[in-house]
Structure 1
Amino acid sequence: MLRPSPFKTVLLTLLAVLALALSFIVVREYRVVERVWFNWHVFWQASDAQAMGLDDYEVVIEARTIEGLEDNVSALSFDPDRNTLFTVTNKDPELVELNLEGRILRRIPLTGFGDAEAVEYISPGIYVISDEHSQRLIKVQVDDDTRFLDAADAEQLTLGINAGGNSGFEGLAYDNKGKRLFVAKERKPVQILEVRGFPNPDDSTPSTLEVTSSKQRDAGLFVRDLSSLQFDEISGHLLALSDESRQILELDTTGRPVGNVSLSKGSMRLGKSVPQAEGIAMGADGTLYLVSEPNLFYSFKKH
């Protein structure tokens, strides 16, 4: 029997090690183990666990161009007082108000906000905008007469958790009852933080700042990145949007994934896959709104 030469033996060993290393990277990068566990759990869970019923949504407005914006649309938040939506752009940064059809109502230039990536409604006239690169949270006040916003005039909070690069704060969501601000870290690692005490719900009294995270919740996030968050006050569940995984993931009150829906062609009657989902918001009637780079607008309703 012919034996392989020492050179071939070494080469085959190196190829085997390389194959194992690549397999490990793929499993880790694509969160394969977490995804398999999620699918197994959803298969056995009670049908009412998915409180938000993501599978019942169908697209109503698909990939409508937001006229007047060329690119870099990022984040989305619903304002129940104005019955409108707010988004931000991170190139020549602006806070942009949209109607529920995805048409621009006004544009507010932002000065000193760095890489603005998320905006979240807190209370009447109060919003938080995130600066991804420096990991700042900036509280702003907006009314009918607001023509520009300067970060130098605003209350700010810098967290600096694994700061730097384009892997910072990509999404925000607010729990009005619990007075919690959820902050999504995009990647390296994918993480959801909870901030209490900012913004201060009562300016007349000092607040205690508390920043927490859940390793168990973060470990169950099988998506490759986080682009945006949405908190549902009725169920207490959190929606997590992933651009790279093309998923909307539903997390229950313990942070456990209990439902998901794809943003790929065919799902929710989409004619084409959502190219780069960047922001999600929920209206007062349960309608889901979504924006995608470069400047596309979507809405989904339950059928």
Structure 2
Amino acid sequence: MRTLSPLKTVLLTLLVVMALAITWRAVGEYRLIERMWFNWQVFWQSSDAQALGLDDYEVVIEARAIEGLADNVSALSFDPDRKTLFTVTNKDPELVELSLEGHILRRIPLTGFGDAEAVEYISPGIYVISDEYQQRLIKVHVDDDTLFLDSADAEQLTLGMGAGGNSGFEGLAYDNRGKRLFVAKERKPVQILEVRGFPNLDASAPSPLEVTSSKRRDAGLFVRDLSSLQFDERSGHLLALSDESRQILELDTEGRPVGNVSLSKGSMGLSKSVPQAEGIAMGDDETLYLVSEPNLFYVFKKQ
């Protein structure tokens, strides 16, 4: 039996160690085990559970630059009353109203909002904006006459969840029937919180504050980060957007995975991959709207 020379033994050992290191990094960083489990659950779900049918969407507006915004576009929310979209910028922070074609309708300067990363429509004229660094949720009122917003004048909720900085609150979604606000924690760990009692919409009857999470649901999120959320009132399903994994995930009412779609080139008719998806919103007719840094606008419709 031939034996390897000492040099070959060392080289073989190094190759094995490198292979193990690469595999370990892939399993940890790209969450391969979670992804395999997610796909396994999706495979065994009834097709009826996939209420939104993400695979049926095709891009109709792709990577349209939002003229007037150079960069740092983050988050997206559909206003069913105004039939417009709202986004925020986190450098020289502003609340920006967009048409459904991605054109700027107005810009509202934000004072004292820190790193504004998400905005969510709650009810007519009422929105919540998140401050990622300080992990604050800030309730604001906006009407046709609003010229600026100052956080000092607003109702606020601070949630210290361990990791600050760029690992804070990246996405918001609101369940109007259940009166709960979903909050996406970007990473360390990837997590979806449910907040009840904020924002308070009836000053005469305040609701007790309750913050919960689902370990089962969070464990099934194979994505490397969360950048935005969207709640669908019709099905009760939640969409979770990940920019680093270039994925949109669909979770049912129990938090179980029932579908996903890629934001990479070739998927949904995309000619190029979405570079850095930061916000997702759904219109009354189930049209999906998406923004990507630096200032790109997308529209997807069911075909």
Q: CA deviation at 1:15?
A: 5.5
Q: 5+ unaligned residues in a row in structure 1: which ranges?
A: none
SS in 1 for 2:37: helix
The 8 Å contact of residues 90 and 117 in structure 1, kept in 2 or not, is answered as: yes
What residue number does 1:208 align with?
A: 208
CA contact (8 A) 1:181 1:195 kept: yes
Name the structure 2 match of 1:157: 157
Deviation at 1:45, TM superposition (A): 2.3
Q: Cα offset for 1:265? A: 1.2
Provide TM-score, normalisation by structure 2: 0.95
State the AA in 2 paired with 1:199. Answer: P
Q: Deviations over 1:92-129 (max 9, x none)?
A: 00000001111000000000000000000001110000
| 1:128 maps onto 2:114 in alignment | no
Contact 2:181 2:198 in 1 (8 A): yes
Tell me the TM-score normalized by structure 1.
0.95
What's the counterpart of residue 175 of structure 1?
Answer: 175
User: Which stretch shifts more, 31-40 or 154-163?
Assistant: 31-40
Worse-matched range after superposition: 34-43 or 212-221: 34-43
* 1:283 correspondence with 2:283: yes
8 Å CA contact retained: 2:163, 2:188: no
Conservation of the 8 A alpha-carbon contact between 1:187 and 1:226: yes
Equivalences for residues 216-295 of structure 1 within 5 A: 216-295=216-295
How many residues align structurally? 302
Match of 1:78? 78
User: 36-45 vs 200-209, which deviates more?
Assistant: 36-45
Q: Sequence identity of aligned pairs in percent?
A: 85
Whether 1:143 and 2:140 are equivalent positions in the alignment is no
Secondary structure of residue in 1 paired with 2:163:
coil
**Matched residue of 1:63: which SS?**
strand
Give the aligned partner of residue 56 of structure 1. Answer: 56
Q: Secondary structure at the match of 1:166?
A: helix
Contact 1:237 1:251 in 2 (8 A): yes
SS at match of 1:48: helix
Q: Give the aligned residue type for 1:160.
A: G
1:187 corresponds to: 187
Q: Unpaired runs of 5+ in structure 2? A: none
- Counterpart CA distance in 2 for 1:83 and 1:3 is 72
Residue 299 of structure 2 aligns with which residue?
299
Instruction: Work out the CA distance in 1 between the residues paired with 2:222 and 2:105.
Output: 37
